[in-house]
Amino acid sequence: MLSTSFLTRLGYFDIFDFISAALFGALTGDLFWYWLGWRFGASENRISKYLLKHVKGIKIDFQGHIFKKLLLSKFMYGTHRAVVVFIGISKIKFSRYILAEAPATVIWFIVIGSLGYLFGLALSGMEHYVKYAEMLLFIAVISYIAIFKIVRAKRELS
């Protein structure tokens, strides 16, 4: 999402399309992982064994502040899906889950989306200097090749 908000700022995507698609995708994905945990968490089949194998190390008490735990997991790479599956396995009521998930997703979206948008804004201000960076990179590559050929030629003469 960071890269998409970055590209939105640069004009590659419409901002309203980006916001609606990103929020819809994030919420739909999280609902899928919740349903997967709720549906297969207690049964004795391959899917539930796979799920339990990947979330068995999670020891979270969801009786307290589910919103804070969901929000924190969204910012910890690689943990959010496991936490959502575990919430489903724990049979937390859907209404309680969605009342915590929706605002957590909106806050996560605002933070990550704003960062990407601001990175795009910073790049927009630096476009003038990018062409100089391209020239410097080109000169550096040509210099490297020239020095490499000179050193190799000296070694062959020795």
Tokens found for residue 61: 């008490």
What's the whole-number mean pLDDT along residues 47-66? 65
Whether 75 has a pLDDT exceeding 80, the answer reads yes
Who wins on pLDDT, 98 or 63? 98
**pTM of the predicted protein model:** 0.65
- In this prediction, residue 24 has a pLDDT band, given cuts at 50, 70 and 90, of very high
What residue spans define the domains of the chain?
Answer: 2-125, 127-158
The pLDDT, as a whole number, for residue 76 is 85
CA nearest to 1, candidates 102, 150, 109, 158: 109
Whether 45 shows a pLDDT value over 80: the answer reads no
- Cβ-contact 7, 120 below 8 angstroms: yes
Q: What is the dihedral of CA 75, 78, 84, 86, to 10 degrees?
A: -130
Rounded Cα distance between 99 and 102, Å, is 6
Residue 87's pLDDT is 86
The per-residue pLDDT for 11 is: 83
Side chain identity at residue 62, one-letter code: F
pLDDT of residue 131: 67
pLDDT confidence band for 124 (50 / 70 / 90): low
Percent of the chain with pLDDT over 70: 80
**Residue 9 scores a pLDDT above 70:** yes
Mean pLDDT, rounded, of the chain: 82
